[in-house]
């Protein structure tokens, strides 16, 4: 059980129009761990993350080939509805994008999709998820206010709660702290270390120190390729390739 693989990507190639963005990606993402995708900006981290919940589908000029296996099931070649696949993953993006509704409805939205409409049930679950995202105390008296009235840091936690509310088992986070102040960033980071007991977390970052703080497993990308991957300790202590060494020394960024 210790090193069970949650997501396995095999020979993934992705192109946008004529340019190849991801080249022959092969990675394994362990269950209930924080896997950090690390690399300089523009190397394809976001694209890789989005291909995991098939957000790449919505762009007509993106071509994907290869396999993405989640719990052994290839989500690129399945009869399952794409909404079923996406429900299993919560996405946290670079900046928070709350829904244009009040705070309460931002969370209720996801719950209602799964057919839960009873007021009592909703209230209880909404409280639960807001607490899980460390937001409850700040918003419990203003649930009917627009989500946009929250601070950016609060909005990001709201987005986390919103993602958790559809009951995923994977969290995909794309530089989730890059728009936040240091305190809010810390809160998110702390939350992640708590959440990893119940969730498989894939975290994209280009902040080396954040990677060192959080990672159990590291995937290092450079120019659309995975250069190196492995358990965090091994990766940071004894990197195998010259590119990785250079990156860790700070000469690529």
Ligand X SMILES: Nc1ncnc2c1ncn2[C@@H]1O[C@H](COP(=O)(O)OP(=O)(O)O)[C@@H](O)[C@H]1O
Binding site for ligand X (CB under 6 A): 16, 21, 39, 41-47
Of 201, 215, 147, the closest CA to residue 171 belongs to: 201
- We find the least distance from the C-beta atom of residue 224 to Mg ion, in angstroms, to be 13
Stretch that binds Mg ion, among 13-21, 41-49, 161-169, 229-237 (CB under 5 A): 41-49
Size of the site for Mg ion (CB under 5 A): 1
- We find the least distance from the C-beta atom of residue 73 to ligand X, in angstroms, to be 24
Distance CA 208, CA 139 (A): 33
DSSP letter string over 204-229? EE--HHHHHHH-SEEEEEETTEEEEE
Of 187, 184, 175, 149, the closest CA to residue 48 belongs to: 175
Per-residue x/- mask for another protein, residues 56 to 85, rule CB under 8 A?
--x-xx---------------------xxx
* 160 interface partner picked from Mg ion, another protein, ligand X, none, CB below 5 to 8 A per type: none
CA-to-CA dists, residue 41 to 179, 187, 204, 208, 209, angstroms: 15, 24, 10, 12, 15
Distance CA 48, CA 223 (A): 12
Per-residue x/- mask for another protein, residues 187 to 226, rule CB under 8 A?
----------------------------------------
Of 184, 191, 181, the closest CA to residue 161 belongs to: 191
- We find the least distance from the C-beta atom of residue 242 to ligand X, in angstroms, to be 20
Do residues 138 and 154 touch, judged by C-beta distance below 8 A?
A: yes
Q: Tell me which residue has tokens 């991957």.
A: 229
Stretch that binds another protein, among 36-44, 51-59, 120-128, 186-194 (CB under 8 A): 51-59
Residue 200 binds to Mg ion (criterion: CB under 5 A): no
- CB under 8 Å to 203, separation ≥6 — which residues? 34, 35, 36, 37, 173, 176, 192, 214, 215
Of 46 and 185, which has the nearer Cβ to Mg ion? 46
- 71 secondary structure, DSSP code: T
Of 47 and 132, which has the nearer Cβ to ligand X? 47
| Position among 35, 47, 93, 156 found at the interface with another protein (CB under 8 A) | 93
* 44 interface partner picked from Mg ion, another protein, ligand X, none, CB below 5 to 8 A per type: ligand X
Size of the site for another protein (CB under 8 A): 34
**Mode of pairing for the β-strands spanning 19-30 and 5-16:** antiparallel
Which residues contact another protein by CB under 8 A?
50, 53, 55, 58, 60-61, 83-91, 93-95, 97, 99-102, 109-110, 113, 146, 148-149, 159, 162-163, 166, 172
| Contacts to Mg ion by CB under 5 A | 46
């Amino acid at each position: 059980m210790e090193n069970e693989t949650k997501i396995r990507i095999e020979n993934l190639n992705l192109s946008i129009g004529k340019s190849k963005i991801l080249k022959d990606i092969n990675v394994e993402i362990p269950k209930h761990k924080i896997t950090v995708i690390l690399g300089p900006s523009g190397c394809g981290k976001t694209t890789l993350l989005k291909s995991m919940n098939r957000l790449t589908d919505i762009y007509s000029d993106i071509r994907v080939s290869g396999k993405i296996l989640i719990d052994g099931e290839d989500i690129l070649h399945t009869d399952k509805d794409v909404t079923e696949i996406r429900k299993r993953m919560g996405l946290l993006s670079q900046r928070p994008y709350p829904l244009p509704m009040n705070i309460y409805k931002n969370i209720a939205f996801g719950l209602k999709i799964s057919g839960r409409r009873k007021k009592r049930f909703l209230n209880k679950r909404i409280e639960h998820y807001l607490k899980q995202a460390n937001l409850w105390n700040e918003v419990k008296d203003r649930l009917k206010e627009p989500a946009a009235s929250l601070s950016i840091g609060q909005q990001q936690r709201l987005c986390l709660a919103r993602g958790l509310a559809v009951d995923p088992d994977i969290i995909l986070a794309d530089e989730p702290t890059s728009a936040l102040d240091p305190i809010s960033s810390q809160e998110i980071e702390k939350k992640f270390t708590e959440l990893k007991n119940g969730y498989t977390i894939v975290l994209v970052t280009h902040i080396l120190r954040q990677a060192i703080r959080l990672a159990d497993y590291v995937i290092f990308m450079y120019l659309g390729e995975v250069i190196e991957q492995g358990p965090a300790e091994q990766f940071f202590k004894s990197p195998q390739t010259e590119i990785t060494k250079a990156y860790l020394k700070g000469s690529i960024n």
